[in-house]
């Protein structure tokens, strides 16, 4: 009798295993994708393959050998006609083995990044760029301790006024981060931006273009942890930064003298060939301001890199 029960148990186990293997993915994970499809508007049939049991063969889905979904790539590199719209179903939290999530180029209506995105403990790659997100960045993203790549950049001049960053303390939880792109978010209230970024010891590439950085005292960074940083993309520093004299080339107290000296020396050096350019610098205030902003941005980058090479003890 015991042998019969044991045999029956083994048969049931074998049948269950074969059924799971045949279906190609885990049932609750497949249902999570069905829920996602139900909350999205797919105008061009991008998700037309999302039917049946074998979700591992669906468009954008990759599974590991045990049938767990580890990659969801719904990136849209086409026109906005192919963008998925609507809401992201919270059922995605059932993808507990997910390592890669890319929703670039879709349109989720300007709402905030869902807090439950911070629940993917195994996530290593997260790309939510140009996907119509705005509002506030949820600090829950700081729970993604295994994250290596993070791109949450937004379209320039679209959500900048409402897409603000109050602080970046949550970055301290991303100890493995090597790539960060937060371009076009409004950093004007994030006074801790440099100190927070300095906690990312393994950061290799940083993109913060058009982020409206606030006035920053670079001397407050006593020691740089940017050991591996080799590519930096910073915005033109805001006009208010000049009040803090971050740029030794430009001094508010003696603006006119510096301008005249720069124009005369440069004019002699480059000759008549560049006379039109220098005429703009002298008589056009907007062009002159843009020139000094460019110099100031270069100065910020050079100071960060210099502190990286020569840390202050």
Between CA 228 and CA 39 the distance in angstroms is 41
pLDDT in tens, the chain (313 residues): 554 554 544 444 443 444 444 467 999 999 999 999 999 999 999 999 999 999 999 999 999 999 999 999 999 999 999 999 999 999 999 999 999 999 999 999 888 999 999 999 999 999 999 999 988 999 999 999 999 999 999 987 554 557 889 889 999 999 999 999 999 999 988 988 999 999 999 999 999 998 888 887 766 666 778 889 999 998 754 433 433 333 333 344 444 544 544 444 455 454 544 555 555 555 555 555 555 555 555 555 566 656 555 555 5
Question: In 297-308, which positions are buried (b, 16+ CB within 10 angstroms) versus exposed (e)?
Answer: bebbeeebeebb
| pLDDT in the model for residue 237 | 46
**Token pair belonging to 274:** 């560049």
Judge whether 176 and 204 are in contact, CB under 8 Å.
no
Between CA 311 and CA 197 the distance in angstroms is 16
| pLDDT in the model for residue 299 | 57
Residue listed under structure tokens 């950049």: 153
| pLDDT in the model for residue 23 | 61
| pLDDT in the model for residue 204 | 97
| pLDDT in the model for residue 223 | 73
| pLDDT in the model for residue 10 | 45
Other Cβ atoms within 10 Å of 90 Cβ, number: 16
Residue 82 burial (CB < 10 Å; 0-12/13-18/19+)?
middle
| pLDDT in the model for residue 11 | 46
Which residues partner with 164 through β-bridges? 136, 186
- SS3 of residue 214 by DSSP: coil
* DSSP summary character for residue 86: E
Q: Where are the beta strands (DSSP E) in 108-262?
A: 125-127, 149-151, 179-181, 205-207, 231-233
| pLDDT in the model for residue 244 | 38
Identify which of 217, 197, 218 has the alpha carbon closest to the alpha carbon of residue 207: 197
Q: Where are the beta strands (DSSP E) in 39-80?
A: 40-41, 61-63, 69-73
Contacts (Cβ under 8 Å, ≥6 apart) of 11: none
Long-range contacts of 51-60 (CB under 8 A, 24+ apart): 53/22, 53/23, 53/24, 53/25, 54/23, 54/24, 54/25, 55/24, 55/25, 55/29, 55/30, 56/24, 56/25, 57/24, 58/33
| pLDDT in the model for residue 143 | 98
Between CA 221 and CA 102 the distance in angstroms is 34
């Amino acid at each position: 009798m015991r042998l019969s029960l044991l045999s029956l148990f083994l048969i049931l186990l074998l049948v269950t295993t074969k059924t799971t293997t045949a279906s190609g993915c885990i049932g609750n994970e497949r249902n999570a994708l069905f829920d996602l499809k139900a909350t999205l508007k797919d105008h061009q049939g991008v998700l037309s393959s999302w039917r049946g049991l074998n979700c591992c063969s669906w468009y954008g889905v990759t599974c590991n050998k045990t049938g767990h979904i580890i990659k969801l790539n719904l990136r849209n590199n086409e026109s906005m006609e192919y963008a998925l719209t609507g809401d992201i179903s919270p059922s995605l939290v059932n993808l507990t083995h997910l390592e890669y999530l890319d929703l670039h180029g879709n349109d989720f209506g300007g709402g905030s990044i869902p807090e439950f995105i911070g629940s993917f403990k195994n996530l290593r790659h997260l790309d939510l760029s140009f996907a119509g997100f705005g509002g506030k960045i949820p600090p829950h993203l700081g729970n993604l301790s295994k994250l290596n790549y993070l791109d949450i950049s937004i379209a320039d001049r679209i959500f900048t006024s409402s897409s603000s960053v109050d602080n970046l303390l949550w970055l301290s939880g991303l100890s493995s981060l090597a790539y960060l792109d937060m371009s076009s978010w409004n950093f004007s209230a994030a006074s801790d931006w440099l100190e927070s970024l300095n906690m990312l010891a393994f950061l290799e590439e940083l993109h913060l273009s058009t982020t409206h950085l606030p006035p920053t005292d670079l001397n407050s960074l006593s020691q740089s942890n940017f050991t591996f940083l080799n590519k930096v993309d910073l915005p033109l520093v805001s006009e208010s930064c000049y009040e803090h004299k971050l740029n030794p080339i430009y001094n508010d107290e003696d603006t006119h003298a510096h301008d005249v000296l720069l124009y005369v020396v440069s004019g002699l050096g480059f000759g008549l060939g560049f006379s039109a350019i220098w005429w703009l610098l002298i008589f056009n205030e907007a062009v002159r301001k843009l020139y000094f902003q460019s110099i100031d941005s270069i100065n910020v980058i050079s100071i960060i890199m210099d502190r990286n090479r020569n840390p202050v003890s």
